Chain A
Amino acid sequence: MKLFLITTLNGLTLAALYFLVASGFSLVFGLMRNVNMAHGSLYLLGAYIGYQFQEATGSWVAAIAGGFLSMALLGLLLQHYLFRFLEGQELRQTLVTIGISIIAADLMLAYWGGTTYQFEIPDALYGALRGIPVIKVYPIYRLFILVAAITVGIALWLFLNRTRIGMMIRAGVDDRDMLSATGVNVHLIFALTFALGAGLAGLAGVVGGSALSIAPGEDLRYLLASLVVVIVGGMGSVAGSAVGAILIGLTEQYGLAYSPTYGVVYTFVIMVAVLAVRPQGIMGRSA
């Protein structure tokens, strides 16, 4: 029972992290049909830059802000100087982002090396929470990730559903051409969405890097997680990313706890099952 509850909590906190990474990926794809294969690179680069911010200022909050803002800016630049010109050419965009991710991974390895970096998290989040029934102790930081993801999720939902720009983004997901025809500057909306998605990846980099660590190869891991989460959950929907992240996070942790050798396989069983029944993903609408 204790193992089960701890595994469930681990699964949920992992899901929270996956949600932070995948929601940006999903949003960008939903609106722009741009499969950003460099999303994992944004995650890792955000984490490294966040780390540099912490080194310079000694503040973890500065690391979070640095991770988010630097990647948002990079996303803005990428969208403005590169992806804007490849609009509507989905395969080419995908290939370009693959090229970027290869170069980015190599350059990050060159600059930051193969060593593992560790964030120093604030004292308030450090240590364990005691006195929980059955489980007894659980790391505060992991619970913080859960709270952070829920906060970001609600904020995203409010932004998309209750603000004018959010409405435009949703309209763009449904029908780009009509949105453009109503006089909205679609490029601005695109750039904004890309910045937001990239920024979320950078933010997740710092949050995730604080929970585990930053090391080469993490870019790939979170790209894969984002892919699977949005394939399962459905593209372009915040709720879909949440559902997908919870499913995958729980599956991974249960797999790890109860049958370590075949843990990966269960994730794929879920993916295959979803594809067989609902190719557009659980919460996705058919294109």
Chain B
Amino acid sequence: MKRTDLISPAVIITALLLAAFPLLANAFWLVQIGAQTFIYGIIALGLILLAGYGGMVSLAQMSVAGLAGYSMAIFGLNSAGLGLGWPLPVVIITAIILATIFGTLIGVLSVRTEGIYTIMITLAVATGFFYFTRQNYAIFNGFTGFAGIKAPVIGGYDLRNPVWFYYLCLIFAAFSYLAITHLVRSTFGVALQGVRDNARRMEALGFHVKAHRITAYAIASVLAAIGGILTVWMNDRIDPSSIGVGPAIDILIIAVIGGLGHPVGAFIGALIFTLVDNFAIDLIDRERFNTVIGAVFLFIVLFSPDGVIGWWRRLFKPGSSSARASSQ
């Protein structure tokens, strides 16, 4: 992977196409497909950092995103009249900070374990948080959750307008993508990959293994928080069903379908997932979305462990040393 990757023709063409997309797309394609893909991609990007580069598969990304979303409702305004109504910038910063603390604590807990234990513990945390929000009415308003968390008007741009919301999500997606692509090549990113491949060796070399892992969790949490805030703005609401086990596993599905080996996998996976999500109805019986996406997921896991980008690499760049998805 060379530095020139970032300004390759493919990247520039993709960027131009994405920027021009609103010229030819209607509101459905802009929000339900476009913005949704970017949001899923941002959250899954955190998982790719954790799983692909850190060797830690966390199923708690959606819980972190959910906490950020809930914070927007609790500290800001919602239609239940339960919000504290703090000023928007303060609310956003509070949401990101709280979610990051939450995600980092999950990291502190789960780095005590390795490999599959991490999946189990993060799944247990995610499920526990889901049940907690559903039972707790004092803070999370229980089963109903919150509605009426409207996207704001910033600098004259009404973010409820599909075009501006699309651009908002695009900007954050692009920013996140660039940040993570740089990060994984930084000293930290390379050390994290070292920790993934052989933690004991890195320990012996004097690296603080746990600190690296926990930092990765913190960074992934920031991404999840951004995704969570954009999600509540898009859906206008948040309730326990949006942070249940289904959505938690969806993020894993997205990352694995796309491929854990490169940050772009998050967005490819998100696009495939969103398209299947919206058009499975036309392909097969309307209720059987989960069977379709489950079968796609199973197929990819069984036949191309490094996801769609793995296929791409084998088809078009034979011989290139593809960064293996951590499938040990």
A interface residue numbers (CB < 8 A to B)? 33, 35, 89-92, 94-96, 98-100, 102-103, 105-107, 109-110, 220, 224, 227-228, 230-231, 260-265, 267-268, 271-272, 275-276, 279
Contact = CB atoms under 8 A, between A and B. Distances in A.
Contacts of B327: 89, 91-92
B125 A261 contact: no
Contact of A227 (B113, B123, B293): B123
Given A91-B326, A110-B287, A279-B112, 7 more contacts: A96-B298, A102-B297, A109-B287, A220-B127, A267-B128, A271-B121, A275-B109
Given A264-B128, A267-B128, A96 B301 contact: yes
Contact of A268 (B124, B245, B295): B124
B302 A271 contact: no
Contacts of B186: none
Interface residues of B, number: 41
Q: Is the interface of A mostly helix, strand, loop or mixed?
A: helix
B121 A103 contact: no
B299 to A, nearest CB: 8
B258 to A, nearest CB: 14
A35 to B, nearest CB: 5
Given A35-B119, A106-B290, A227-B124, A95 B256 contact: yes
A275 B298 contact: no
Interface of B: 57, 109, 112-113, 115-117, 119-121, 123-125, 127-128, 131-132, 135-138, 245, 249, 252, 256, 287-291, 293-295, 297-298, 301-302, 305, 326-328
B289 to A, nearest CB: 8
The interface centre, meaning the residue of B124, B256, B295, B327 with most chain A CB atoms within 10 A of its CB, is B124
B109 A272 contact: yes
16 contacts: A91-B119, A91-B328, A92-B301, A94-B116, A95-B301, A103-B295, A110-B291, A224-B123, A227-B120, A231-B117, A260-B135, A261-B136, A261-B138, A264-B131, A275-B109, A279-B117
B291 A106 contact: yes
Contacts of A106: 288-291, 294
A256 B245 CA distance: 22
Nearest to B299: A99
A261 B140 CA distance: 11
The interface centre, meaning the residue of B57, B137, B294, B328 with most chain A CB atoms within 10 A of its CB, is B294
Contact of B112 (A90, A96, A107, A276): A276
A230 B120 CA distance: 10
Nearest to B114: A287
Contact of A102 (B117, B120, B293): B293
Nearest to A96: B301
A91 B113 CA distance: 14
Question: Which A-B residue pairs are the 10 nearest by beta carbons?
Answer: A99-B298, A102-B294, A106-B290, A103-B294, A106-B291, A95-B301, A264-B131, A35-B116, A99-B297, A268-B128
Nearest to A95: B301
Contacts of A264: 128, 131-132, 135
A165 B295 CA distance: 36
Contact of A98 (B109, B124, B249): B249
A197 to B, nearest CB: 16
Contacts of A272: 109
